[in-house]
Amino acid sequence: MASADSPRRLVVTADDFGRSHAINEAIIEAHTTGILTCASLIVTGGAFDHAVELAHAHPALGVGLHLCLVCGRSALKPTQIPNLVDDHYHFSSRPVWAGLRYFFARELRWQLRHELEGQVQKFRTTGLALDHLNGHLNLHLHPTVLSLISRHAPAWKARHFRLTRDPFWLNARLAGGAWAYRLSHALIFNLLSWRARPALRRAGLRHTDAVFGLLQNGRVTEDYVARLLPRLPLGDFELYAHPSRDTARHELEALTSSRVKALVVQHGIRLVRYQDL
């Protein structure tokens, strides 16, 4: 919950840091000229070294770990986690199928744990402070994955976690279209978030009151953010996006918009990192 002197606090995060140079450069631009406060690092991304170099050059940027267990590459070798990846280090590109396997195949759990630890260890090699944890495609809220994270978070020195609950009725007032996607994801992630709360409490993992961006699914536009900010309730919240200089310029433009920056000031919103909560 936000403090009395700052009744509205907003973490603004970019996912996929380290995935490509275009994404890395957009993140730094959104941080230095816009409202971005955090980035979530994929340690197995193709531009990982570039992202780490940029993060060290911009120490005010809060950098967290974007755990990847689907649609990406592993930190460990295929021989170490033979049932999770192919011979080229690739996880399944079918998120639903992977999620079902992770839930029902108990023999996969030790491999998932080792891979999560491998990604945490690779993050530690960067020398960056761990601002937060979340997951690629929000798989960090998968019951099996969440159980592993909550059990080992204290040893990983993790303190903050994205509890991905995007309020549907507020989103419905802010944007239109893709109603089936938005309603289904609101229901699924409300349930997953409700289920996660006790485990997060036991693990000492702090989170915001709600998270915006899930239901936009790549449509975090200037107009959406400009509608959201005046309606931001009292408390602590996160807005996440996927800015890029090539594939998602509209999300970069939303985070650097002069109109958006003016609304932050006008409504007394304090931009913070997870570590500031």
- For residue 2, pLDDT over 60 is answered with no
Rounded mean pLDDT of 134-149? Answer: 97
Domain annotation covers residue 229:
yes
- Domain of 220 in residue numbering reads as 8-276
Domain annotation covers residue 1:
no
CB–CB of 18/43 below 8 Å? yes
The CATH number linked to 236 is: 3.20.20.370
Domain annotation covers residue 156:
yes
pLDDT grade for 56, boundaries at 50, 70 and 90: very high
Q: In the prediction, which pLDDT does 6 show?
A: 60
Domain annotation covers residue 3:
no
Q: In the predicted model, what is the mean pLDDT of the chain? A: 96
pLDDT tens, position by position, 202-243 = 999 999 999 999 999 999 999 999 999 999 999 999 999 999
Q: Which are the contacts of 265, defined by CB distance < 8 A and separation ≥ 6?
A: none
Domain annotation covers residue 25:
yes
pLDDT tens, position by position, 158-184 = 999 999 999 999 999 999 999 999 999
pTM, rounded to two decimals: 0.95
Domain annotation covers residue 42:
yes
Letter for the amino acid at 128? L
* Number of independent structural domains in the chain: 1
pLDDT grade for 3, boundaries at 50, 70 and 90: low
89: left (phi over 0), alpha (psi -120 to 50) or beta: left
pLDDT grade for 4, boundaries at 50, 70 and 90: very low
Domain annotation covers residue 146:
yes
Domain annotation covers residue 76:
yes
